[in-house]
Each structure stands twice: as structure tokens, then as C-alpha cells.
A = this chain, B = another copy of it.
Amino acid sequence: MPSVELSFDPRLDLLFQSEVDLSPAQIWAAWTQPEHLLHWFTPAPWTTVECEIVLQAGGIFRTVMRSPEGQEHTHSGCYLEIIENERLIWTDALGPGFRPALEPFITATIALKPLGPGRTLYTATARHRDETARQRHEEMGFTAGWSKALEQMVAHMQQIQAQAKPA
């Protein structure tokens, strides 16, 4: 049984939506396979230097981002719902095994809707506990960050696809 329908509250939540020239399966692979995620997840000039994924409810989703100067930022959470090629939900309010986390901030949802061959409506939602957290996330550059990461994802996955085709 899938989870309850998630409400969107504009006072508390942030939304990023874009039409993308990738199939839902390509975007799903980009989000759930570390070898892809390492290439696009962090907006340049920062990079993703570690990625740990256990793609199961309660499983860890952990990334380490690094700045050009070597500053590192670790983000750790766990998956809540996994519907292949359709919807991925995770939160940093819980750690692996659903244990309450020390620094809860968001619950994130990636929803994928096919728009035709090789084209997808990509919807990312960040849900927060209060207006302050939402505002902080917006000021951290939510929209620019997710937009830049998505551009990097499309470039990476299209490159993979081009390489996979016979010459």
C-alpha cells in the first residue's frame, strides 16, 4: 500500500518543477545509483565525494559534499517510500533504521511523470517543520541549487546514453 497523499503547504514547503529530456527510468537511476549520483548531485564547484544508498524503507541515504578548498559537508537520512520510476521519499529527520536524527531539517520527495518518449515532468518537494526552516532553505538557494543539480544530472545521463549507443 503506498503512503498517504502528501499535502503541500506553501507556508512550510518548497517546490521545484521542470520538464526534463530524460525518461523516468533514467532519472530514477540518477537518484538511486551512487555511481550516477556522484556526478551530478552537488552544484559545481562543490562535488559529491561519497554516496551511500540502501534503497529500502529505513535504509540510509548519505552524501558527502566537498568544496574546492576541501571543506566537507555530510548529509544523512533515510528512505521512507520507494516506488520505482515514480516516487522517492526520504527525510533527514530520521537516520538509518528510522532512528530520530540530531539535526532534522527536511523531508524530500522526487515525483516523476512520463510526458512522452524520453521526457519527464520532474517535481521535487522539500517539506519543513515550520516557516523559519522553509525560509532558511529558500535563502540557502533551494531553487538555484536544485535547478543547477538537475542540469548536471541531465548532462551526465545524456552523456552516458550517448556513450551506450553504437558508433
Instruction: Let me know if A63 is at the binding interface, CB within 8 A.
Output: no
CB distance from A85 to the nearest CB of B (A): 15
Bound Cα distance from A7 to B104, whole angstroms: 20
Residue A96 interfacial (CB < 8 Å): yes
Q: Does A80 contact B (CB under 8 A)?
A: yes
- Which of A5, A96, A105, A127 counts the most B-chain CB atoms under 10 A from its CB? A127
Which one of B1, B97, B129 lies within 8 Å of A56 (CB-CB)? B1
B-contacting residues, A110-162, CB 8 Å: 127-130, 133
Residues facing B in A1-17 (CB within 8 A) are 1-7, 12
Q: Mark A82-104, 1 if CB is under 8 A from B, else 0.
A: 10000001010111111111101
A81 at interface, CB cutoff 8 A: yes
State the copy count for this chain: 2
Q: Taking the complex as formed, is A24 at the interface, i.e. its CB lies under 8 A from any CB of chain B?
A: no
Contact among B3, B91, B100, B107 for A128, CB-based, below 8 A: B100
The answer for the CA separation of A72 and B165 in the assembled complex, in Å, is 65
| Residue A59 interfacial (CB < 8 Å) | yes
Partner of A106, one of B6, B89, B100: B100
Contact of A93 among B3, B81, B93, B128 (CB under 8 A): B93
Q: Kindly provide the distance from the CB of A87 to the nearest chain B CB, expressed in whole angstroms.
A: 12
- CB-based contact A102/B80 at 8 Å: no
Query: What is the CA–CA distance of A4 and B102 in the complex, to the nearest angstrom?
Result: 20
A7 to chain B, nearest CB (A): 6
A4 & B58 in contact (Cβ 8 Å cutoff) = yes
A5: nearest residue on chain B (CB-CB)?
A: B97
